Amino acid sequence: MIYWAPLLHFYQPPNQLPDVLDRICDECYRPLNRIFADLVDVRATINVTGSLVELLRERRATDILDGWRRLAERGQVEFTGTAMYHPILPLIPAHEGRRQIVLNQRTNRAAFGDAFRPIGFFPPELGFAASIVPTVLETGHRWLLASGVACPTDWPLDFIPTVTSDEGELAVFYRDDLLSNRVAFADLDAAGFINSLRSLRGARESVFVVTAMDAETFGHHLRGWEEQFLAQVFHTIAEAKQAREGRAETDGEAIQVVALSQLLDLFPQQPSPTPRASTWSSNGDDLAAGNPYPLWKSPGNRVHQLQWELTGLVLDLAQRAEAFSDDDTSRYFARIARVQMDRALYSCQYWWASRRPMWEVNLVHRGLMAQQEALLNATRSIRSSHAPDSARADATYRFIAARDVAARILDELVA
């Protein structure tokens, strides 16, 4: 038996343009919901970020949220946990990562009710470092998905690797990067994909394969791909299952579509080395060069360096604002700073500055503006509080330093 566990990652940045979101809803999210609703035997794992949930509510696209909830209640899909505004978790402080995960849990439980019961975790961009394992376990998750390039051992086809920390044991599933990317770039049709799944079994009795990609691949990035590929694969597998029914013999090449958590009951777990620091956009050369997060924090990227310098300064000020706020006015500005800072950690601003090949000055600048809003309100909070004079003076100094870094980012964008 070949078990295929597909994962679809639903995400839009918190400052996505309304008309773009509306187009994605019509081209991708609604068609995908219809496909799953029509194929009751299909199983999948879906990762929905809280930032997208907020946007869909603002656009009154609650039919999409209701569709995901119904699919989960019927047992067709399972939700994963993730970070609210899609930050690269290894690149932010652990307490901020935990905050983002808890925010996501609250938002999605409010949207999906009891249907939201994730035991698996999707790190944004599959950004992994050993440092995130304790947080993932502390927030109630039993497994985590990592990129295939992170795998430090022989490829696990018939066992599930586990890693341990003081908080417990965490199962690790590895994304088949090659197969996932071939689908994402339309380099493989439905028949070719099914043949590729069958070729992986070899002499083993049973194996599993995990694919993961942006849900927006189907219908938005690739128009019609939700029908031409995804629905066609599901229909082909369902038809093969019907043809097997009633036969006494077993078919070793049979494919069953499952949610990732189902694999925990189907395959043994085995202690393994910790995955390598990486993302689903990293390659072997990146890891060898000590550059595990090349699209978000590359050592040779001047804009990345400035972005993270600014992020550190603003995040520190937002935290100080929370600590020093002691009256209605300072608490008001501190709350605004905190909300803006949560959103300002989103990954896209760094991605658009990567030059690999992504480079879009307006989308980098949009992230810069989000950080500047947090900077303004955090500084205003501290200066309006009864904090010691030394703390107020330090906040002013940090504000000036952050403003200088922001100006240098603008200089880079103009240049």
Any idea where the domains of the chain sit in the sequence?
2-288, 302-414
User: In the prediction, which pLDDT does 202 show?
Assistant: 83
Minimal CA–CA distance to 173: which of 95, 269, 237?
269
Outline where 224-360 has alpha helix (H): 225, 232-244, 284-288, 302-324, 328-344, 348-351
pLDDT along the chain (415 residues), means of 10: 97 96 98 94 95 97 97 97 98 98 98 97 98 97 98 95 95 98 96 94 90 97 96 93 66 88 97 97 96 97 98 97 96 97 97 95 97 97 95 95 98 95
Minimal CA–CA distance to 255: which of 186, 200, 179, 178?
200
Contacts of 149 (CB under 8 A, 6+ apart): 177, 276, 278, 280, 282, 283, 284, 287
Contact 322, 382 (CB under 8 A): no
In tens, the pLDDT along 19-54 reads 999 999 999 999 999 999 998 888 999 999 999 999
Q: How many CA atoms lie within 13 A of 179 on its CB side?
A: 23
Minimal CA–CA distance to 177: which of 26, 279, 49, 264?
279
Which CATH number, 3.20.110.20, 3.40.50.620, 3.40.470.10, 2.40.50.100, labels domain 2-288? 3.20.110.20
- DSSP secondary structure string for all residues of 180-224: HHHHHTT-S-HHHHHHHHHHT-TT-S-EEEEEEEEGGGBTTTBTT
Query: CB 135: neighbour CB atoms within 10 A?
Result: 23
In whole angstroms, what is the distance from residue 254 CA to residue 250 CA?
A: 8
Q: What is the pTM of this model?
A: 0.95
User: In the prediction, which pLDDT does 332 show?
Assistant: 98
Contacts of 414 (CB under 8 A, 6+ apart): none
Contact 104, 80 (CB under 8 A): no
